[in-house]
Structure 1
Amino acid sequence: MNYQSDVTAERADGFSTVVDGDARDDARSRIWRIAIGAMVLLLLAAIGVFAYQKFFGAATPAGDDEGQNPVVTVISPDAETVQGQISATGSIAARRELPVGVVGEGGRVVAVPVDAGEWVSQGQVLAVIDRSVQTQQAQSAQAQVRVAEADAELAQANLDRSLQLVDRGFVSAADVDRLTATRDAAAARVQVAKAQAAELRARNARLNIVAPAAGLVLERNVEPGQTASPASGPLFRIARGGEMELMAQVSEAEMASLSPGVAATVTPVGSAKSFTGQVWQISPTIDPQSRQGMARIALSYAPELRPGGFANATINSGTVVAPMLPESAILSDGDGSFVYVVSEDSKAERRPVKTGLVTSNGIVVTEGLDGSEQVVLRAGGFLTEGEAIVARAQEEG
């Protein structure tokens, strides 16, 4: 037999309320949902506690007064000697570039025996200018020298004969003086003729465009048949000795740590090969627009170092003795960089610091630490000033 049982409940006003079976089922469901929700909350709380302890380290033994304090890993950053490095970029150029042009009157170029990319020695002919007219002028000047020499010889002979006749009374002293002057004038004309001939030879020699020093020809801007003159500009550009340099742009703050003679490593863009050089000149001025200065790095010749190319440089900026910390230990906010150190009463103490060089081993702390402190290595962002903590030294290995 099917039947439905009802439950009568007494209300506060004296009346009775009938509660059927479906109502009882709904009540039980609500109780179960509440119980399950409570269990989920407890489970989440347990997971949170486990994660907190996992992050801060193992919990202290039960019964310890500090059992509720977070355990943190600390490190004592002893002072180390660190080699500083500055990264910079710049353009490659010839360290001593020699522009070579026409130094004489110029003319038509008849030969260019060298090309760009070739090595030349000092005094080597780079280009030859036509000198057909100048050659004739030089021959004429040389002939004038011989004429003047003949006149001088004749004047000297006349003077010698007159001196032999003075004692006999055939030649007066005035005649001797006149012949002496004639001889002297003839000798002077010889010197003038020789000087004019030498001048023409020197002018003709300048029609050969020669290398002022040994080096690598970077540019050739002339061809046979071209008319060249002093107004033509440089016909060749030579890197003296083949020496190159990187004109590295360095920030104003980093310029103070550089000095001539420090080593640098230069890597041209697109090349896996690096070259060792040294800073030979520091710019005495700072660009007011970019706030950068120039460090000129001398480099020996190499085919990969092409003037006008771009390159990266790593410059050694000297050594510093200071504590070094991993990046995880240094925090920052609106007030600057800081770390947490363990105070004498085992509490987290905020310590402002100033950082310096960044290396592959960590960050150098230039101010704020002397290296004897216990610095929180990780999880500093979860601590607050004055919070009691349990310090645990970092395990080696």
Structure 2
Amino acid sequence: MKKQVLIYSKMKRLLIIGLLGLMTTVFYSCDTPAANEESAAHNEEHGDHDEEASGEVRITREQADVLDLQLGRVEEKSLAKNIKVNGYLDLYPQDKAAVTTFIGGNLVDIYVKEGDKVKKGQVLARLEHPDYVQLQQELQEGVSQLGYLKSEYERKEKLYKEDISSGREYQKAKAEYFAMQARVKALKAKLKLLNLQVDKILAGELYNTVPVIAPIDGYIGEVLVSIGDFAEPGTTMFLITNNDKTHVDFKVYEKDIYKVRQGQKAYFTIANRPGELIEARIEKIGRTFEDDPKAIHVHAAITGPVKAGLLPGLYVEGRIVEAEKPARVLPEEAIVKDGEGSFIFILDEDESSENEMVFKPVMVTTGIEDAGFVEVAFAEPLPEEARVVIRGAYMLSSELIKGELEHDD
């Protein structure tokens, strides 16, 4: 009983006038006639019980929705002595591509949109230009001439060796043959770069358009052209990123560099997944300092199961582990600080009903704080199935204070 009195006296010191005003507005706006009647009936039937439960907070489920309360459980996580870092999700150069053409052409078809997943070798668009046809024609003519020049070269070579033909005629035939041979090889290489099938061209087929091919697996990040545009040589038409290869690019400051080594575990959080620790492992350590501030880049592969939603460019906060230990933890937002002490709210399942939720404060001792989580210990064991308020705890504490003040009056 003495401990309970201590809890309540500490809670009274949390007089946040502005918050009380906000809570009063929210709760009055959420009260319905039915809820008021139910509350009145409850008070009539259980007047003595309310005297005993002055440390509870009772709200309707509708009010809980308005306050955006979120429940969770005490978790086991590894908290440790660590190096605090920040950085971004990033891709290595080989995991992103700018799609261009080396011979300009007009866009006649575009087959993809931003966000589409594509495979290496997939056709993204088609280009059209007379130069493409001209190259194919030159290859067909070159191959035909190559056969004649080869025969002429071999004939002149035989005559030269028999001292029937002059060396000059032999050298001329040889030069013409090897020059055409080089030209044919160059034309084949150009047409392969245009992603055309050389064998079919040599069989007599001509292509009016050339395909624009995805060089890597990934997602279309940007489409920078429209149908009818003329794509200049070297102009970027599409940007592709292989987000499945996303890694973490941490920035480690000068004072901590000696503590970092390959293979170390790291954990990080991102804004679109609050309260969720994602595991990584150090795989590359930079060897060049940035000047402002003095730091190096440390790259970590993401080893945790979370992959979806990790987009290059997202800001991350994390830690690189030096030594770690398992601990019972809660998100920082679940802890209500009261002077030198702290407490949390747990849902009283037995007292709660279909329309009402009852929360009780429980004192906790806090330990290591790391990456948005706090180590917690309890004077008395907390049931494993106990549901804890992990979002909105301060809103409940202000309502608790309001109830205490009204009770004192």
Taking structure 1 as the reference length, the TM-score comes to: 0.48
TM-score relative to the length of structure 2: 0.47
Higher helix share: 2
Q: Which has the higher contact order (CA 8 A, sep 6+)?
A: 2
